[in-house]
Structure 1
Amino acid sequence: MSLLTWTILALVVSWIVNRLRKVGSREQGLPPGPPTLPLLGNLHVFPQTKAYIKFTEWVRPYGDIYSLKIGSGTAVVISSSKRAKECFEQNGATTSDRPSLHVVEIVYKGLEMPLARYGPHWRNMRRAAHDLLNKEACLSHLPIQHAEASQLMYDLLQDPQNLYGHIRRYSASVTLSVVFGIHCPTYDNPTMVEFFECQRKWENILGPGGHPPVDVFPFLKYIPERWAAWKGLCREVRSRQRKYYFSLLRNCHERIKSDKRNNSFMEYLLENQKKYDFDEESCCYFGLSMMEGGADTTAMFLQFFVLCMLANPDVKKKAQQEIDKVIGQNRSPELEDLNDLPYVRAIINEVHRYRPGAPTSIPHAALADTMVGGYLIPKGSIIFMNLWGIGRDAELFEDPERFWPDRFMQSEYGTKHGADTTGCRETPFSFGGGRRICPGLNLANNSVAINVMNILWAFNIELPKDPRTGLPIPLDEDDTTDGILLTPKPFTCEITPRSAGKADIIKLQFDAARPVFDRFEQAR
């Protein structure tokens, strides 16, 4: 080859090497972060399990906004309420997208609301969700919530060993009744079993190790299914979800056709599809979105609440003294009673802070270059709201690793004296932020309040005792699942009615709820 050819070849190779060396490096203007490696960026140190723990550890050296390089892409982690408000609310117009995830596209084709990209279809779904779950609409759902809560108390009275299943049944059945008009009387009901089975498989795919990093290394998308088990799991989940939710939809069609409506939202939606620009497919995936968004979150909160009461008997005792003084012995609590129970409200706020159900939230994505905290978040970046870190901000909270509801008795946001509360808000960040804030927060808040008050009023909750020594068996508060959602693994406890009179009231209320259940059970 000629000298000119060699020179051109050398220049091309040099250019390629130089470009590859820059892949994975942190561009100018980005927030600081851990040191990077060529090509990988921070992929070699990106946590594969309990990411929220590492995300919170990195706050100390890198601050409340830092960046991670994932190959050529960028992830930004927000770990304070001040930066969360600036990023997701003040800059909501450019931070309301979701990352493009290959497995999500395979399973949902962009039709599931919580994970859908920001755009016209998402806005239509959001409008429908607002009509279903706004504050006024949720008042009409209260009879369902009270009836289901009466069953939860009755189930705990009759079968206290299955606390975990009873709470999950409550949460899923409320959502199923409101959206599809179907009540599930038992945890092992086929409708309930299939929902949780599909949900478990999908969470396993989304969780750490459930699928390879196809969004970082796109060539992995083209590996044949016989060598990529995750592809078969995605196909199975999609098939089972569609079979399940289209059957629920057919059930609604049949009620409308036979004039046996029970005022479920899906009946209304099927008769008003043009209003939301929905076809049958959109209706199906809207129902799926509501179920996935509502069935697990309330259950997780209530499970963590019970766990916190077991670990902090002094808190439980103080709350029960307040409830006994306000409610008395002759009736169970009503939703309105929460206004007169400041310590119970403090417990609810502290559970949100101490054990957020999605500790790194569902990540957002930047629609355009955005400045937050003086740093650049480039278009296309993934943005994590580190709820675990926000709740453990030592600048805001005294002894943040301690479960201590009294902090919310001493200040509005539970913050220590003199703390900068810029960005703090009444609605916990566990419901998300900006345009992606959870549309079901009113329904969830009502469910949480009703059941927290009921459980404290009705039951003694104690640690199980060692049969040999008679001493309480310690529990591990950190024994949780891993993945997008943080759920306590099944645990045992002793649940007994606080009095025979309260047990009688529970039975009477459950019997009185029968007409509400009848409305929805005949729909199955």
Structure 2
Amino acid sequence: MVSLLSLTVLGVIVFWLVDRLRKIGSRESGLPPGPPTLPLIGNLNIFPTSRAHLKFTDWVRTYGDIYSLKVGPGTAVVISSPRRAKECFEQNSSTTSDRPAVYVGELAYQGIQLSLARYGPHWRNMRRATHRLLSKDASRAHVPIQHAEASQLMVDIIEDPKNLYGHVRRYSTSVILAAVFGVRCATSDNPFIAEFFETQRRFEHILRPGGAPPVDMIPILKYIPERWAPWKELCRDFRARQQKYFHRLQEKCVDRIAKDQRNGSFVEYLLEHGGDYEFDYEKTCYLGLSLIEAGADTTAMALQFFVLCMLAHPDVLAKAQREIDDVIGHDRSPQLDDLKDLPYVRAIINELHRYRPGSRTAIPHAATADTKVGGYLIPKGSVIFMNVWGMGRDPELFDDPERFWPERFINSEFGTKPGADTTGFKDVPFSFGAGRRICPGMYLAVNSIAINVMNMLWAFNFDLAKDPATGLPIPVDADNTTDGILLTPKPFTCDITPRSGAKVEMIRNQTKAAQPIFDRFGHAGLEDVI
């Protein structure tokens, strides 16, 4: 017969288990506020699986600029103001600079990709090596190829204005390829362009919040068989494709070194000095591909959004062109150093970053220790999202935040309304991240965007395309984007025309004059990479 003591012990165990299960998914004491939770799953039922930045920003209105979400037993914290971002990612950088364990990233990159790597010695070595290529001072060395490729971009637009989308992708890919692997992409129809961007887009789709099951917060999900988990197959296919063409790019560097035909590329340097950073052949390759991934897409996306905004706001285009004409004139094309004398053009670029930031929720951080932010607890192991979209949409900071209005950056340094609290604002757009994980290529990207925005304003007029059946203008939509970590504009139509025949001739001549710069990267192209 079962004794009374045994029944009592069994009852205590059952009560303890029920109590523990009941608490799973609930919000612990000290956490930031957030939506009501359900037992076991927490907020998993309402966690956004598409365009997370919109829901993250909607919740700000109810729960404030720091709030929490429970995903099973795990915790996610969303930071939605520059003030909280400064406190979290800069003042507490020692405990908020990690990345969460990303199972799909581990499948794809084996933990050695710069953006997703965990905080530790290997990441620090990658960051230290990258500083040699992309620091503010080092980025000045890439200005000649940026200007040369920008001239080529203008020629491409003149000859094939309907393919703006492809031309800006060629530009951004060619610049970062030249700096990192020492090769350039001369034409927008090169197979590498299509292969690279299509592969990236598919993988970004599962990296976004909700793009794959929350394996990292509910680890048992990693044991789902592959036939029921298509994201596993995608990750393995992604890795195989990347290894194929990035190994081939690296072999070109090896070949140039063997033939004493070095052109100063970053990977050449790493192949000869990798021991200083504890890099082997594979780690060198993956650092190179990390930089291509980060640099090719974001710059192209920014330029595509720039054209969309000019099409939607012809008054802004006209005002910017008047400033360009007054400062630059018509006898030469703009140079990067001209930007300091173009306040309205700078305002357009700043407003572009606010209005359509490159990464709307950034790559999440992870807490390596309990951290206090805004008086709330961010527990060790929490995933921390920086809601960049929400920062630029705060009505307490910005007048009419849904409006594209560059004048706000003429009226104040950060585009904020009079009397707004600008704690945490900085010169670098928040879309590049914050703290120790801020994008190392931000200076190269900022320079590319500035050079091409000035060139396009100086060289071209942008008009809405006409419907051939009705003759009516075809409207553009800046919200018609892909859905991933980067919300890239989907292809759109427009009419682009040179502002004068004299400028066309000038553009062609300066592109011919840039041939010695192109020749530096001409020992081997991309023909055999794909």
Shift of 1:201: 2.8
Partner of 1:385: 386
Provide, for residues 107-132 of structure 1, a one-character-per-residue CA deviation record: whole Å limited to 9, x for no partner: 11110000100000000000011111
Q: Letter of the aligned partner of 2:110 in structure 1?
A: K
User: Aligned partner of 1:516: which letter?
Assistant: I
Aligned partner of residue 289 in structure 1, secondary structure: helix
Aligned to 1:340: 341
> How far apart are the structure 2 equivalents of 1:231 and 1:391?
35
Tell me how far apart the structure 1 counterparts of residues 289 and 404 of structure 2 sit (CA, whole Å): 34
**C-alpha displacement at 1:187, in angstroms?**
1.9
Given residue 13 of structure 1, which amino acid in structure 2 is its aligned partner? V
Displacement of 1:460: 0.4
DSSP 3-state at the match of 1:384? strand
The secondary structure found in structure 1 opposite 2:108 is helix
Tell me, in whole angstroms, the C-alpha distance in 1 between the residues paired with 2:428 and 2:102: 29
- In structure 2, the residue matched to 1:5 is 6
Matches within 5 A, 1:404-483: 404-483=405-484
- Deviation of 1:210 (Å): 4.3
Q: Give runs of aligned pairs for residues 494-509 of structure 1, distance below 5 A.
A: 494-509=495-510
Other structure's SS at 1:402 match: coil
Do the aligned partners of 2:151 and 2:507 also contact (CA within 8 Å) in 1?
A: yes
2:54 matched residue in structure 1: 53
SS at 2:241 equivalent: helix
Q: Give per-residue Cα distances to partners, 1:89-144, cap 9 Å, x unaligned.
A: 11111110000011111111110000100000000000011111112211111111
Separation in structure 2 between the aligned mates of residue 424 and residue 209 of structure 1, nearest angstrom? 29
Deviations 1:374-412 (A, max 9, x none): 111111101011000000111111111111000000111
The answer for the alignment partner of 2:85 in structure 1 is: 84
Provide the residue aligned with 1:520 in structure 2: 521
Structure 1 residues 158-199: Cα deviation after superposition (integer angstroms, max 9, x where no partner): 000011110111101100010000011112213333322331
Query: Amino acid of the residue matched to residue 191 of structure 1?
Result: F
Query: Retained in 1: the 8 A contact 2:48–2:210?
Result: no
Distance in 2 between residues matched to 1:452 and 1:117, nearest whole Å: 35
Contact kept? 2:215, 2:221, Cα under 8 Å: yes
Amino acid corresponding to residue 303 of structure 1 in structure 2: Q
Whether the aligned pair in 1 keeps the contact of 2:108 and 2:235 (CA below 8 Å) is yes
1:165 aligns with 2:149: no
TM superposition shift of 1:214 = 1.9
CA 1:432–1:25: 2 relative to 1, 3 Å = same
| Counterpart mapping for 1:255-274 below 5 A | 255-274=256-275
**What does residue 528 of structure 2 align with?**
none
User: Counterpart of 1:7 in structure 2: which amino acid?
Assistant: T
Tell me if the contact between 1:463 and 1:492 (Cα under 8 Å) persists in the aligned partners. yes
1:126 aligns with 2:127: yes
Equivalent residue letter for 1:98:
R
User: 332-341 or 215-224, which moves further after superposition?
Assistant: 215-224
Checking the alignment, whether the CA contact within 8 Å between 1:102 and 1:215 is kept in structure 2 is yes
Distance 1:236 1:471 in 2: 44
Instruction: Tell me: CA distance 1:488–1:468, structure 2 relative to 1, closer, same or farther (3 Å).
Output: same
Q: Deviations over 1:464-483 (max 9, x none)?
A: 11234433222222111112
Task: For 1:139 and 1:357, locate their aligned partners in 2 and report how far apart those are by CA, in whole Å.
Answer: 22
Distance 1:103 1:399 in 2: 38
Identity %: 69
Which letter maps to 1:269? L
Of 203-212 and 29-38, the range deviating more from structure 2: 203-212
Aligned counterparts of 1:468 and 1:212: Cα–Cα separation in 2: 46
TM-score of the aligned structures, taking structure 1 as reference length: 0.98
Report what 2:142 is aligned to: 141
- 1:208, distance to aligned residue in structure 2 (A): 5.5
Moved more, 8-17 or 405-414: 8-17
Alignment of 1:72-111 (within 5 A): 72-111=73-112
5+ residue gaps, structure 2, are: 526-530
Matches of 2:521 and 2:191 in 1, distance apart?
16
Q: Does 1:245 align with 2:246?
A: yes
Q: Which runs of 5+ in 1 are unaligned?
A: none
Amino acid at match of 1:119: G
Matched position secondary structure for 1:319: helix
The answer (yes or no) to whether the contact 1:181–1:264 under 8 Å persists in 2 is yes
Aligned to 1:114, what secondary structure does the other structure show?
coil
One-letter amino acid of the counterpart of residue 207, structure 2: L
1:204 is matched by which residue type in structure 2?
H
Whole-Å separation in 1 of the counterparts to 2:289 and 2:85: 28
Distance 1:379 1:129 in 2: 29
CA distance in 2: counterparts of 1:26 and 1:320, whole angstroms: 54
Report if the CA contact (8 A) 1:184-1:521 is conserved.
Answer: no
Alpha-carbon distance in 2 for matches of 1:334, 1:67: 46
Q: Deviations over 1:316-346 (max 9, x none)?
A: 1100000011111111100111011000000
Contact 2:369 2:380 in 1 (8 A): yes
Residue 32 of structure 2 aligns with which residue?
Answer: 31
C-alpha distance 254-42 of structure 1, shift in aligned 2 (>3 A): same
The 1-side partners of 2:344 and 2:301 are apart by 21
Distance (whole Å) between structure 2 residues aligned to residue 301 and residue 146 of structure 1: 17
Structure-2 separation of matches of 1:165 and 1:199: 15
AA matched with 2:391? I
| SS at 2:300 equivalent | helix
Which residue identity is paired with 1:169?
A: R
Range with greater deviation from structure 2 (504-513 or 45-54):
504-513
The alignment partner of 1:331 has SS state of coil
Mean CA deviation greater in 470-479 or 20-29: 470-479
Distance 1:381 1:208, change over 3 A: closer
Quote the residue 1:298 is aligned against.
Answer: 299
How far, CA to CA, are the matches of 2:214 and 2:77 in structure 1? 18
Measured in 1, the distance between the counterparts of 2:238 and 2:469 equals: 46
Residue 233 of structure 1 is matched in structure 2 by: 234
Amino acid at match of 2:133: L
The root-mean-square deviation of aligned C-alpha atoms, in Å, is: 1.2
Could you list the per-position Cα deviations for residues 423-457 of structure 1 after superposition, in whole angstroms to 9, with x for gaps in the alignment?
11111111110001111111111101100000000
Q: Is the 8 A contact 1:99 1:365 kept in 2?
A: yes
Determine helix, strand or coil for the equivalent of 2:96. Answer: coil
Between the two proteins, the alignment pairs up a number of residues equal to: 524
CA contact (8 A) 1:98 1:364 kept: yes
Task: Give the secondary-structure state (helix, strand or coil) at the position aligned to 1:68.
Answer: strand
1:279 to partner: Cα distance: 0.8
Asked if the contact 1:68–1:76 (Cα under 8 Å) also holds between the matched residues in 2, the reply is yes
Distance 1:394 1:217 in 2: 36
User: Which residue is 1:307 aligned to?
Assistant: 308
- Aligned twin of 1:40: 41
Provide Cα deviations, 1:474-516, integer angstroms capped at 9, x if missing partner.
2222111112111111111100001111111111122112221
Letter in 2 for 1:143: P
The one-character-per-residue Cα deviations of 1:42-87 (angstroms, maximum 9, x if unpaired) are 1111111111001101111100110001111111101111111111
C-alpha contact 1:205 1:234 (8 A) present in aligned 2: no
Please name the residue that 1:362 is paired with.
363
Larger mean CA deviation between 346-355 and 510-519 belongs to 510-519
Letter in 1 for 2:505: D
Question: How far apart, in 2, do the equivalents of 1:472 and 1:66 lie?
Answer: 44
